[in-house]
Amino acid sequence: MQTETIKEEKTAIEETIEISGSEAVLKALIAEDVSTIFGYPGGAIMPIYDALYDYNDRLEHILVRHEQGGIHAGQGYARTSGKTGVVFATSGPGATNLVTGLADAMIDSTPLVCITGQVFAHLLGTDAFQETDIINITTPVTKWNYQITDANEIPAIMAKAFYIAGSGRPGPVLIDIAKNAQVQKINYAGYTKCTHIRSYRPKPIIREEYVKAAAEMINNAERPFVIFGQGVILGGAEAEFKNFIEKGGLPAAWTILGLSALETSHPLNVGMLGMHGNYGPNMLTNECDVLIAVGMRFDDRVTGRLDRYAKQAKVIHLDIDPSEIDKNVKADVPVWGDCKETIPMITALLDAKQRDSWTNRFKECMDQEIEAVIHEEMHPSTEQMTMGEVIDQLNELTKGDAVIVTDVGQHQMVACRYAKFVKSKSNITSGGLGTMGFALPAAIGAKYGAMDRTVVAVIGDGGIQMTIQELGTIMQNNVNVKILILNNRFLGMVRQWQQLFNEKRYSFVNIESPDYVTVAKGYRIEGNSISNREDLSKALATMLDHNGPYLLEVFVGKENNVFPMVPQGCGVSEIRLK
């Protein structure tokens, strides 16, 4: 018996190999089915990059021009692929340049694993060159973070990082690896994926009594209204959600991160919620008798004033994150759990109904909005083009099949309002944080996450200048993204607020731009600039048909505003059409 035990131990030792901590990191990535990394090298992460030299056939590394570009690219990749994005950065400024992207990914529930290099362990706390306490800096903006000073920890910590980032409500994880751990040799016995962590429950236990209560409440409702967010997409529950609303005859409206979970042409898709959302969904929120929230968090841009929000309605809230339930809006029926599991459970108990008189109310509101807002946006009486007509022409050419990546500002709201989608994971934008500069690098990542799809970055003249250096990334890798700049020569959203609420006191919102076509040409990217309506359709077609990256600048009206609008401090039913 003792002899057999000794033989087993010898066999286990013989199966181990001696590798560096850096190589252990790369083996973990391969085991986790990672194919693409976005990053920027530096001194403290150099050993990992040295090891990567021998793994180029299995791991594709995209050299960005700024670490913020790297993490936004990782976000775009995660959002279109449904996988966890991976980002490399060095210590000090390299690591701190990730913070905005981490905050963005945290609030928008985007799975990322960020690997940062760190100074040697014996130098920690000495203010060594390019040393920052990135663990404490990023604690508020990560789902989990950890510092490794001993390479023996690398396989288990990497496994834990991927499990935490991608399970439950996804989010960003940061692993900081001291340089000594990167060069340290370890006996490597293989990699085991993590499937369980004590005290961490990514999916709460589903309580059937709440499922039954939700179904009963919906069955008894006269005016039920569904509002859905990105949770439907993250849960892969698009088909289940569609069955749910169709069986119950339930009108459904989306948050900007929920957009594309349900095809925009679906008869029960009644439009967009929020500050610049559609008239009907905002107005009728305060007339429904049952409000069913699915995978959304009742953000303030959706609710307006909470003391005037859906006070007449019973609220059902489905969410995988129990902390979101009752956080902003009190739920009468909380349905904890993964919506891919909870939605079918409710659907099975629903009465099949058609609620034509109720859904017709949304159509009536849309008719009002078309007359007051949309018709003029699509068919302007002025010589200057509107953002809406540009997006409308883009829809005609893409047939709703493209991935649209938007930056932040007026163009974002217009694109979200008017873009048409037939597939999920098609609308990529910075929702909760509202990060200007997001779109260009995120479009790069989005393309790597969906190589078979057309990717169009719709960007304002303000946002493009925040990360314009990523044109270099596009150039070097020949990333086939289409860049559509809607140039109104203003920081448009701030200007709109200053016009409406600050007596047109335009304080530092006039912004001059370079010749974008010339800049693009400097990066060996083809481009064009137009200002005449008669050139629009042909210019968009040329952009989409071009074999490779292409930049198109479209000059639009300087002082066009985005309506409808719920003014800050107002309730959703106080939405303005003009």
Question: Which of 67, 240, 389, 553 does the annotation list as catalytic?
Answer: 67
Query: What is the arrangement of strands in the sheet containing 36-39, beginning at the earlier edge strand?
Result: 60-63, 36-39, 85-89, 112-118, 172-178, 144-148
Domain parsing of the chain, residue ranges: 17-188, 208-361, 379-566
Helices (H), 167-268: 179-183, 208-219, 231-234, 238-248
Q: Does the annotation mark 14 as catalytic?
A: no
pLDDT of 4 > 80? The answer is no
Q: Does the annotation mark 23 as catalytic?
A: no
Nearest-angstrom CA–CA distance, 231 and 234: 5
- Angle at alpha carbon of residue 272, lines to 372 and 284, rounded to 5°: 75
CATH class of 17-188: alpha beta
Cβ distance 38 to 87 under 8 Å?
A: yes
* Superfamily per CATH, domain 379-566: Thiamin diphosphate (ThDP)-binding fold, Pyr/PP domains (3.40.50.970)
pLDDT digits (tens, 9 = 90+) for 284-314: 999 999 999 999 999 999 999 999 999 999 9
pLDDT digits (tens, 9 = 90+) for 142-192: 999 999 999 999 999 999 999 999 999 999 999 999 999 999 999 999 999
Question: Which of 27, 179, 420, 482 does the annotation list as catalytic?
Answer: 179
Secondary structure class of 53 (helix, strand, coil) = helix
Q: With bands split at pLDDT 50, 70 and 90, how would you rate the model's confidence at 568?
A: confident
Looking only at the bridges linking them, the beta strands covering 185-188 and 17-20 are antiparallel
Q: Which residue has the tokens 């400097």?
A: 522
pLDDT at res. 1:
43
Q: With bands split at pLDDT 50, 70 and 90, how would you rate the model's confidence at 578?
A: confident
Q: Looking at per-residue confidence, does 382 or 554 come out higher?
A: 554
| Cβ-based neighbours of 350, under 8 Å, separated by 6 or more | 215, 218, 219, 244, 247, 248
CATH architecture of 208-361: 3-Layer(aba) Sandwich (3.40)
Give the mean model confidence (pLDDT) for residues 263-269. 98
Query: Can you give the pTM of this predicted structure?
Result: 0.95
pLDDT at res. 13:
45
Q: With bands split at pLDDT 50, 70 and 90, how would you rate the model's confidence at 11?
A: very low
Half-sphere exposure of residue 184: CA atoms within 13 angstroms, side-chain side: 20
Q: Does the annotation mark 324 as catalytic?
A: no
**In terms of Cα–Cα distance, which of 156, 162, 157, 158 is closest to 189?**
156
In 323-391, the DSSP E strands lie at: 333-336
Question: Which of 7, 9, 15, 129 does the annotation list as catalytic?
Answer: 129
pLDDT digits (tens, 9 = 90+) for 182-206: 999 999 999 999 999 999 999 999 9
Please name the helix (run of DSSP H) or strand (run of DSSP E) that holds residue 28, with its range, or none: helix 21-31
Nearest-angstrom CA–CA distance, 511 and 134: 34
pLDDT at res. 2:
46
Half-sphere exposure of residue 91: CA atoms within 13 angstroms, side-chain side: 25
pLDDT of 460 > 90? The answer is yes
Q: Does the annotation mark 130 as catalytic?
A: yes
Question: Which of 130, 368, 384, 469 does the annotation list as catalytic?
Answer: 130
Same fold flag, 208-361 and 379-566: yes
Q: Which two tokens stand for residue 369?
A: 């909005």
Give the mean model confidence (pLDDT) for residues 267-282. 97
Q: Which two tokens stand for residue 353?
A: 């109904």
Secondary structure of 448-486 in the HEC alphabet?
HHCCCCCEEEEEECCHHHHCHHHHHHHHHHCCCEEEEEE
Cβ distance 368 to 577 under 8 Å?
A: yes
- The whole-chain average pLDDT of the chain stands at 96
pLDDT of 124 > 70? The answer is yes
**In terms of Cα–Cα distance, which of 180, 192, 169 is closest to 45?**
180
pLDDT at res. 504:
94
Q: With bands split at pLDDT 50, 70 and 90, how would you rate the model's confidence at 329?
A: very high
pLDDT of 479 > 80? The answer is yes
Question: Which of 158, 296, 493, 565 does the annotation list as catalytic?
Answer: 493
Q: Does the annotation mark 129 as catalytic?
A: yes
